[in-house]
Amino acid sequence: MEKNLFEKIAEKPCKWFSPDAEPFKLSGFAFYEKDGVYRRYPLNPPEELPVKVEDNARGSSGGQIRFSAETSQLRLRVKLRETPLHGYHITTLAEAGFDVYAAKGDGNYVFCGVTKFEPTETEYEATLIQLEEAQKLDFIINFPLRTPVESMFVGLDEDCVPTAPPPFESDKRILIYGASIMHGFCASRPGMIMPNIISRRLNREVINMGVNGSALCETSVAKSVRMVDDVALLIINTEGNCPDDKFISEHLPEFIETYREAHPETPIAVMSFMRESREYIDDVARRRRLAKKEAQIKTVESFKASGDKNIYFWDGEDFTAGYEDIAFEGHLAGNECTTDTQHKSDLGFWLMANGVMRRIKEMNI
């Protein structure tokens, strides 16, 4: 008799592995080798971080585990440092959960599973993949956006011997500093934040130093950001947290100058916001965004005039232009891509990632 495809496959015993040991590869954690914790800023920064930045730094958004294995199952055993928060515009899965992508050796990673757990739990064990027979696959496990992770282990078949994942396309990293949208708010799950989309589609390591509600271009933060080595490109997107164009004109140059002291030649892209759907009825919001955009353009032009040949302005409005605007019978994708008119949904991050990847490919870095 043909087996019911929806019949639950019996769970098998598994063997647990630490993701910080070979052949597993941690990426997205620039300071893990030194500090040994899943956080995105150095544990002992050169200057004390602002309180809100430090709070965000403890999270693991953009962190990944990569490996290959022939297994019929993939489980995670997770211990969080605190109870997950519950925001009005972010899922518990994005806040404190993991998701996994798998490929069959061709680099075409497909979303395959998530951790399922109670929202009040600080420790949980979850099965992300369960197959009838073992398959040889390449895996990417994405860390949660905000709740700090104290420890986690990967569970595979008892007889499984994991191997190293396919290498990245380049040893040079893409580094991102910005506000809540760069941090990942409000993707439905970790794999859909813009840094993770870019990472798996370009096969590059991306370091996400976005800080929700806290990207104010402080020089103390710039001194931590510039500690990341082997950087092919720094993307700056702080518009959302800067109150007005005057603030940007005063503080963005200071941030860039501080970074340039350590990295005079590293390409820098200053990226403005995508259009907001509320601008259709809110002229004040539109004027405010355009004023901030102009301040960023002038900042970049000023650096270029001073001889900086490796600084660029990326217009966020371009990211919903052209074919991407056509969603269905004239409705614009750019008007449907947020959770609250500002923070990006999965669609918003997909559009943004497409635009960013086009720029990266044009730069040939």
Any idea where the domains of the chain sit in the sequence? Answer: 14-157, 173-363
pTM of the shown model = 0.94
Domain 173-363: give its CATH architecture.
3-Layer(aba) Sandwich (3.40)
Opening angle at CA 83, ends 28 and 225, nearest 5: 30
What's the pLDDT tens digit per position in 304-363? 999 999 999 999 987 765 444 445 566 677 778 889 888 999 999 998 999 999 999 999
d(CA 145, CA 105) in angstroms, rounded, equals 27
Q: Quote the pLDDT of residue 4.
A: 45
Q: What is the mean pLDDT of residues 90-108?
A: 97
pLDDT tens, position by position, 13-71: 999 999 999 999 999 999 999 999 999 999 999 999 999 999 999 999 999 999 999 99
**Is residue 6's pLDDT more than 70?**
no
Task: Give percent of the chain with pLDDT exceeding 90.
Answer: 85
Is-contact 90 84, C-beta < 8 A?
Answer: no
Q: Which long-range contacts (CB under 8 A, 24 or more apart) does 287-290 make?
A: 288/244, 289/239
Cβ–Cβ contacts within 10 Å for residue 48, how many?
A: 10
Query: What value does the mean pLDDT take over residues 129-133?
Result: 97
Question: What's residue 28's pLDDT?
Answer: 98
Is 60 exceeded by the pLDDT of residue 283?
yes
Tell the CATH superfamily of the 14-157 domain: Galactose-binding domain-like (2.60.120.260)
User: Which of 131, 136, 145 lies closest to 163, judged by CA?
Assistant: 136
Asked if 353 and 201 touch (Cβ cutoff 8 Å), the reply is: yes
Q: Is the pLDDT of residue 91 over 50?
A: yes
- The DSSP line for 23-75 is T-EEES-TTHHHH-SS-SS-SS-SSPPPHHHHHHHTS-TT-EEEEEEEEEEEE
Residue 330, pLDDT score: 62
pLDDT the model gives residue 5: 39
What token pair was written down for 264? Answer: 């005079």
Report, as an integer, the average pLDDT of 88-94.
Answer: 91
Would you say residue 291 has pLDDT above 80?
A: yes
Q: What is the pLDDT of residue 341?
A: 86
Asked whether the predicted pLDDT for residue 271 surpasses 80, the reply is yes
Rg of the Cα trace of the chain? 21
pLDDT at residue 9, rounded to an integer: 60
Band (109; pLDDT cuts 50, 70, 90): very high
- Looking at residue 280, its pLDDT comes to 87
Q: Mean pLDDT throughout 262-278? A: 93
According to DSSP, residue 107 is labeled S
Spatial CB neighbours of 156, under 8 Å, sequence gap ≥ 6? 14, 15, 17, 69, 71, 73, 74, 75, 162
pLDDT of 328 reads 55
Q: How far is CA 138 from the centre of its chain?
A: 20
Mean pLDDT of 84-88: 84
Mean pLDDT, all residues of the chain = 93
Q: Rounded mean pLDDT of 193-221?
A: 97
Per-residue confidence band for 10, with pLDDT thresholds at 50, 70 and 90: low
Residue pair 310/268 in contact (Cβ under 8 Å)? The answer is yes
CA distances from 134 to 72, 87, 118, 129, 156 (A): 4, 38, 29, 11, 10
DSSP reduced 3-state for 138: strand
Structure confidence at residue 2 (pLDDT):
43
